[in-house]
Structure 1
Amino acid sequence: MATYKKRGYKPKTKEEQQNAVEDQSTTAEVFNTLDEGASKTEAWVARNQKYIFVIIGIAAVVILGYLAYEEFIQEPKEAEAANEMFVAQQYFENALNSSGAQSDSLYNLALTGGQGKFGFEDIIDNYGSTKAGNLARYYAGMAYLNTNNYQQAIDYLDDFSSDDEILAPLAKGAIGDAFLQLDQPEEALDYYEEAAKMRDNAFTTPRFLMKAAVTAIRLGNGAAAEKHLNRIQKEYPESAEANKVNVYLGQAQAMQ
């Protein structure tokens, strides 16, 4: 047990004197070790300062280069890409509100461009690294899906990436739609289920749970269909899909 000693305390017995000498020796040894370590560090720095300065210089150049790239190249490119995409987006929106040959024509203009502006394909080719270029992949995929070019739709949508609550699952589910049109329901089911799991919201989740259930019924997988339908009924009772659950639930149960 440690004993408190007042300041100025002098050891009286021989044992106390020996302990004091040992304490002083240990303290001195610690400081000597620290001094030696500091000296070795200083010596290492002195020997390698040339390389240290080179490394610091390279790091500074990389950081400054990145900042300059962002400010003088990437940001203007982002603005230019967004400006170029405005007309293509208008064509796309008009196509959604049209039908037949007119709709197909507008989707094609959205893809290839018009009024002296780039279409989505040109934007992807010229501004693929920008946010607008990434978004153009989504629009191009949906345009191809709506014009029955399913493999192109899959290719563009698969290259699109997003953290958006709605767009991310919509893109994934649209790939499922394309596979279903290509008569590949197994792949379609995988994408519908993935789309349903990507986000949890009252719009995309029940939408793709229902598509997954219907596709599972088509594949004869009643258990999977029932699981998806029950989830819609339990978690999204106010959704439009909930009103259709009973239509398919009986079919799913009859398969088991």
Structure 2
Amino acid sequence: MSKKNTANSGLEIIESPEALAGQINKAETFFRRNQKIIIGVGVAIVVAVAAFAGYRLYIDSQESSAQVALSNAVYDFEADSLRRALNGSGGNEGLLAIADGYTGTDAANLADLYAGIALMKQGQFDQAIERLKAFSSSDLLMQGRADALLGDAYMEKNQPAEAVSYYKKAADYKSNEFFTPIYLMKLGIAQEKANQPKDALASYNKIIEEYPLSAEVTNAKKYKGLLEGQVGE
């Protein structure tokens, strides 16, 4: 059918009462034949919207309670009372309970990060890795910090190849002059231990060339010189 004929058909439906009535009859027939499906879809949409609204109300109420609980646990964390921070005390919930009991809230997400750090300090690296992997953020610094801590945990477990992947993430995440050189230095050391000397040299060179004013430059130059002597470059 040509565009002209299609356009004329549309005008005919609008201008002709008989044509319009025919279209209405077709619509009524379609609805009768598919009434259960149409109603079912409508009900499903209403239920989905109501469920989402209810979920948001639930999360908002949970967030308030979780933030109060988190403030108590963070107080213990900052006082270096790691056991109390992790497990709670005196009726206060600990970081582990907050992370697991208030799923979906910002406070639970932060509790995973704090718990990961506390577990690292206690030498519980497998548990720390689990918590740090559960954390996510779009913040300028915190996600990079979490990835670097994961790299540290894998280095403690003598798994430098795994550490390399997380140090790369940390170094690539929203680069900045303060923390990126630190992550690159950690990356280079992990790459050396993972028998990736050329990659390690590239990491040290990046510090020297892109972050010449950083505190890591001196060590980067030293490690680069030692490594070049070993690989004959």
Q: What TM-score results when the alignment is normalised by the length of structure 2?
A: 0.83
Q: 2:186 aligns with which of 211, 214, 233?
A: 211
Q: Give, in whole Å, the separation in 2 of the partners of 1:63 and 1:31.
A: 35
Counterpart of 1:74, as a letter, is I
| Structure 2 unaligned residues grouped into runs of 5+ | 14-18
Whether 1:120 aligns to 2:95 is: yes
Counterpart of 2:85, as a letter, is A
Instruction: Tell me the number of residue pairs that the alignment of Structure 1 and Structure 2 aligns.
Output: 221
Larger radius of gyration between Structure 1 and Structure 2: 1
Which residue in the other structure is 1:94 paired with? 79
Q: Secondary structure at the match of 1:191?
A: helix
Task: For residue 27 of structure 1, report the CA deviation from its aligned partner.
Answer: 8.4
Q: Secondary structure at the match of 2:139?
A: coil
Counterpart of 1:123, as a letter, is I
Whether 1:180 aligns to 2:155 is: yes
Q: Give, in whole Å, the separation in 2 of the partners of 1:41 and 1:61.
A: 26
Q: 1:56 aligns with which of 34, 39, 42?
A: 42
Counterpart of 1:30, as a letter, is S
Q: Secondary structure at the match of 2:176?
A: coil
4+ residue segments displaced more than 4 Å: 25-29, 31-39
Q: Secondary structure at the match of 1:237?
A: coil
Match runs of 1:99-110 below 5 Å:
106-110=81-85
Whether 1:228 aligns to 2:228 is: no
Match runs of 1:184-195 below 5 Å:
184-195=159-170
Whether 1:137 aligns to 2:112 is: yes
Q: 2:29 aligns with which of 43, 53, 59?
A: 43
Describe the shift of the 1:28–1:169 C-alpha distance in structure 2 as closer, same or farther (beyond 3 A). Answer: closer
Which residue in the other structure is 1:151 paired with? 126
Q: 1:66 aligns with which of 52, 70, 78?
A: 52
Deviations 1:217-255 (A, max 9, x none): 334432111111111122222222223221111022223
Task: For residue 41 of structure 1, report the CA deviation from its aligned partner.
Answer: 4.1
Match runs of 1:159-178 below 5 Å:
159-178=134-153
Task: For residue 75 of structure 1, report the CA deviation from its aligned partner.
Answer: 0.8
Q: Give, in whole Å, the separation in 2 of the partners of 1:240 and 1:137.
A: 30
Q: Give, in whole Å, the separation in 2 of the partners of 1:156 and 1:199.
A: 22
Q: Secondary structure at the match of 1:116?
A: coil
Task: For residue 141 of structure 1, report the CA deviation from its aligned partner.
Answer: 0.7
Task: For residue 193 of structure 1, report the CA deviation from its aligned partner.
Answer: 1.6
Q: Secondary structure at the match of 1:255?
A: helix
Q: Give, in whole Å, the separation in 2 of the partners of 1:174 and 1:120.
A: 18
Which residue in the other structure is 1:82 paired with? 67
Counterpart of 2:88, as a letter, is G
Deviations 1:61-109 (A, max 9, x none): 22123213312x21111110111111110111222xxxxxxxxxx1111
| CA contact 1:202–1:236 (8 Å) conserved in 2 | yes
Which residue in the other structure is 1:243 paired with? 218
Percent identity reads 32
| Structure 1 unaligned residues grouped into runs of 5+ | 1-24, 96-105
Name whichever of 33-42 and 202-211 sits farther off.
33-42
Q: Give, in whole Å, the separation in 2 of the partners of 1:218 and 1:50.
A: 65
* Aligned-pair Cα RMSD in Å: 2.6
Q: Give, in whole Å, the separation in 2 of the partners of 1:27 and 1:229.
A: 68
Name whichever of 189-198 and 146-155 sits farther off.
189-198
Q: What TM-score results when the alignment is normalised by the length of structure 1?
A: 0.76
